[in-house]
Structure 1
């Protein structure tokens, strides 16, 4: 297909496992251009983008914006769970684009809020009615874990980055302390991401089975399938996972005060969404002593749009493109 020059933007969402790439016109994502690539099949992002652009007829893009699962500093992104380093120069070279932006993936999700279809939003905790320009919070649970607050300012939307998944995991109970020591022995540091992620689900399952005297290693997908079949160990794994997710969500809500709502994103968040009510995520979130009532101010929604980060990239890029 022949595309007019400088009428499209190139967007990419780079996770720890897959990269999603698409074209957009202005802020409109073009669904028929969305492609997914397995990261392990490529030496770096530049080769992914070159393959994609070749398949799309090598359009001359006005801009490129990518969302990266890792910290971004001075135009350079280092993937947290993948050995790729991404620079603005490499992106400009691959896309032959004049305007280039690199966001943390949770920043991109933050820029997508308010631009997603209602049928992709799954309410899980009811809260107060959000006031105009109230802060929001995006929490990502997938290959890794992270969060980003979202502020609407007079100069536009501000979504500061963070690496919240690498803070210490919270401890409330003797069981949580035992899990901490299990994680610490294997990895040297008990981070939130070590339990609230796909591999975290696997680690909790291994810890519970080891404690029961019969260590069993299962992948996250296997654990979810076993839970659907009412396997007791898988169900206990999910119960523990949901409880810690509620605790961490409550902690982050107290830090950022997202009266505009908390939004859970990522493949693992979508997978556990049907279990949040059964295992009382809401209680885990609000179990804050004298602040339990105050926690009712923060509604929680799961975003079920797998391409929300691409939408966020499109809106951010449209804001910074000249003219």
Structure 2
């Protein structure tokens, strides 16, 4: 059997809108092989994989799919897309001998130890910790989720989670009005109903209602107005979003104690990156009463590598293959 660093694999990252597919060699993503597919143009993942592998003339030894939704026993259904991902079906479509299915945040967690410094922006310095200290990855994009990351005996363990559907942590009368607005229009709100792309649009729409006028805007238009002075409501929307993100991240930090660091990832998180510190992320993160000083020991980073989930999928496969060789 070939050394694991020479194993060719196909990896896919399925988001709510697009699927990215790539070939990997060992833990390294072949960046020139990355292709993006619009989900709405395809009936399912097997169609995407077949089209990709045919175009690449590739016969992978292994395959790993990271998906935005809960996974159990190798089968998952996407939260924001009517696709089912099945390990056995992937094996048939790719002819790969080793196949894995991960939640997309699990894939991000598997990538953390392989990210370069130029893929990370430090938001809060925290304190130094041991190499085996727990980490926490928080993804904000089309949806929201989080997952702890542990290193045990040379293995990376990333338990799955559906943190985006926990109840919003509300502390003020203003935030109660936001929750009531979302509940009235979209049902019982969870964290994802604020901390996501569409959630940010809902925050802005709520502010429009609060102010008694103006039409809601899409997320891109809102962000373009931030800091220009042309739309103070856009700045307020960013503040509400940032404060909630800081509070949720702080709550998750207390649950998981990730002394090895917290890593924010996802397209929405990256778009908010330049505004997080100015708009109160650190203050909301540390606002835990007598535990406020305790919160300052957690380093917080923004992951700017858009392909980290692909890297994490490759790393997970490499660990599986290394175990199989023992």
TM-score range for the pair, normalised by the shorter chain length: over 0.9
Q: 2:173 maps to what in 1?
A: 174
State the distance in 2 between where 1:130 and 1:179 align.
38
State the distance in 1 between where 2:168 and 2:129 align.
29
8 Å CA contact 1:135, 1:258 repeated in 2: yes
State the distance in 1 between where 2:217 and 2:54 align.
38
8 Å CA contact 1:205, 1:216 repeated in 2: no
State the distance in 2 between where 1:220 and 1:317 align.
36
| Post-superposition CA distance 1:67-88 (Å, at most 9, x none) | 0100001111110011100101
State the distance in 1 between where 2:178 and 2:280 align.
20
Deviation of 1:215 (Å): 4.4
Q: 1:301 maps to what in 2?
A: 301
| Post-superposition CA distance 1:88-123 (Å, at most 9, x none) | 121111111111100000000000011012111000
So what's the TM-score if we normalise by structure 2? 0.95
Q: 2:48 maps to what in 1?
A: 48
Q: 2:85 maps to what in 1?
A: 86
Deviation of 1:229 (Å): 2.8
Superposition pairs of residues 1-323 of structure 1, within 5 angstroms: 7-57=7-57, 59-154=58-153, 156-230=155-229, 231-321=231-321, 322-323=324-325
| Post-superposition CA distance 1:231-260 (Å, at most 9, x none) | 201111001100000000000000000000
The ranges of structure 1 where at least 4 consecutive aligned residues each deviate by more than 2 angstroms after the TM superposition are: none
| Aligned CA-pair RMSD | 1.1
State the distance in 1 between where 2:74 and 2:214 align.
44
Structure 1 SS opposite 2:296 = helix
Structure 2 SS opposite 1:20 = strand
Deviation of 1:28 (Å): 1.3
Q: Which runs of 5+ in 2 are unaligned?
A: 1-5
8 Å CA contact 2:53, 2:59 repeated in 1: no
Structure 1 SS opposite 2:277 = coil
Deviation of 1:7 (Å): 4.2
Deviates further, 217-226 or 258-267: 217-226
State the distance in 1 between where 2:133 and 2:256 align.
11
- The total of aligned residue pairs comes to 317
Q: Which runs of 5+ in 1 are unaligned?
A: 1-5
8 Å CA contact 2:108, 2:309 repeated in 1: yes
Deviates further, 137-146 or 148-157: 148-157
Deviation of 1:217 (Å): 2.1
So what's the TM-score if we normalise by structure 1? 0.96
